[in-house]
C-alpha cells in the first residue's frame, strides 16, 4: 500500500494527519510526523500536503553515507536507526521535503506507508492506494 494525496484542494490545514502520524509513537506533539501540511504561499491560497512518494530509486537512500536508509522492494525506504549518524543528507536530497526530522533524536523520520493518518483526515485529502509496480502516484 502507498500513501497518496487524493485532493489537496480539500485540505483545510487542520493538521490532524500530522498529529496522528506523530501519535503512532505513543506520545502527543509533532516530533515524529512524516507528513507536512503548509500553506501554499499564504492560507488564502490553500495548502500543500507533503507525503513520501516512496520513490523506486530513492534519492534519500542514494546519498546516505552509512546505508541507514535501505530501499524497499516496490519503492520507499526503511530506516536502520542504529546506522544513522544524523548528517541530514537524506533530508537535503528529497526535493519535495518528504524526509522529516526528529529534532530531539536528530534523525530522520520516514513514512512507513501505514495509512494511520488517512483515518484522521475528515476531508478525504489522503488515501491509501494499492501499490502496483510502475503506477505513479500523485
Partner 1 sequence: MIDNDTLSKVLYIDLSKKKFTTRDRKDLFEKYLGGTGVATALLHEECPEGIDPFAEESPIIFAIGPLTGVFPLASKTCAMFKSPHTGDLGESHAGGRSAIAIRMAGYGAIVIKGKSELPIYLSISNGKVLFKNATTLWGMKDGSIAARVMRQNEKGEGLRAIFRIGQAGENMSTFANVTTETYRHFGRLGLGAIFGSKFLKGIVISGKQAIEVANKKEYRTLYDKIYNAATESSAMKKYHDVGTAINIKSLNSLKALPVRNLQASSTDEIEQVTGEEIAKNHLARRVACAHCPVACIHLAYLREPYDDDPYFYKTTPVCYDFELIYSLGTMVGITEPKAMLKLIDIVEQVGVDAMSMGVVLSWITEMFEKKMITKEDICGIDINWGKSNEYIELVKNIANPTTEFLKAAAKGVSYASSVYGGKEFAMQFGKNEMPGYHTGPSGYLGFLLGARHSHLDNAGYSLDQKELIKNDLSPKQVVDKLLEEEAIRQILSSIAVCFFARGIYNLNLVSDAIKLLGFDYTEDQLMELGKQIHLNKYRFKIREGFSFDKLEIPERIYETKDPTGKITKEYIKEGLDYATNLIC
Using the minimum distance from each CB to partner 1, give the nearer residue, 51 or 61.
51
Q: Reduce the secondary structure of 40-65 to three states and give it as a string.
A: CCCHHHCEEEECCCCCCCCHHHHHCC
| Given 3, 5, 15, 89, the residue binding partner 1 (CB under 8 A) | 15
Using the minimum distance from each CB to partner 1, give the nearer residue, 43 or 74.
43
Q: Does 103 bind partner 1 (CB under 8 A)?
A: yes
| Given 13, 59, 71, 115, the residue binding partner 1 (CB under 8 A) | 13
Find where cell 520507499 sits.
76
CA distance 108 to 87: 9
Using the minimum distance from each CB to partner 1, give the nearer residue, 89 or 121.
121
CA angle (49 as vertex; 98, 120 as ends), nearest 5: 105
x/- binding map, residues 16-55, to partner 1, per CB under 8 A?
Answer: x--x--xx-xxxxxxxxx--xxxx--xxx-x---------
CA distance 17 to 51: 11
We find the least distance from the C-beta atom of residue 63 to partner 1, in angstroms, to be 22
| Given 14, 55, 63, 128, the residue binding partner 1 (CB under 8 A) | 14
Q: Does 116 bind partner 1 (CB under 8 A)?
A: no
CA atoms within 13 A on the CB side of 94: 26
Amino acid at each position: 500500500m502507498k500513501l497518496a494525496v487524493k485532493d489537496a484542494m480539500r485540505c483545510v490545514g487542520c493538521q490532524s494527519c500530522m498529529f496522528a502520524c506523530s501519535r503512532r509513537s505513543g506520545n502527543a506533539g509533532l516530533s515524529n510526523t512524516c507528513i507536512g501540511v503548509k500553506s501554499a504561499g499564504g492560507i488564502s491560497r490553500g495548502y500543500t500536503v507533503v507525503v513520501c512518494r516512496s520513490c523506486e530509486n530513492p534519492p534519500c537512500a542514494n546519498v546516505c553515507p552509512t546505508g541507514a536508509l535501505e530501499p524497499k522492494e516496490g519503492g520507499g525506504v526503511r530506516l536502520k536507526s542504529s546506522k544513522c549518524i544524523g548528517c541530514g543528507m537524506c533530508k537535503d536530497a528529497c526535493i519535495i521535503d518528504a524526509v522529516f526530522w526528529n529534532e530531539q533524536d536528530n534523525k530522520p523520520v520516514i513514512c512507513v506507508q501505514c495509512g494511520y493518518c488517512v483515518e484522521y483526515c475528515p476531508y478525504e485529502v489522503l488515501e491509501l492506494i494499492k501499490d502496483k509496480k510502475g503506477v505513479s502516484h500523485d
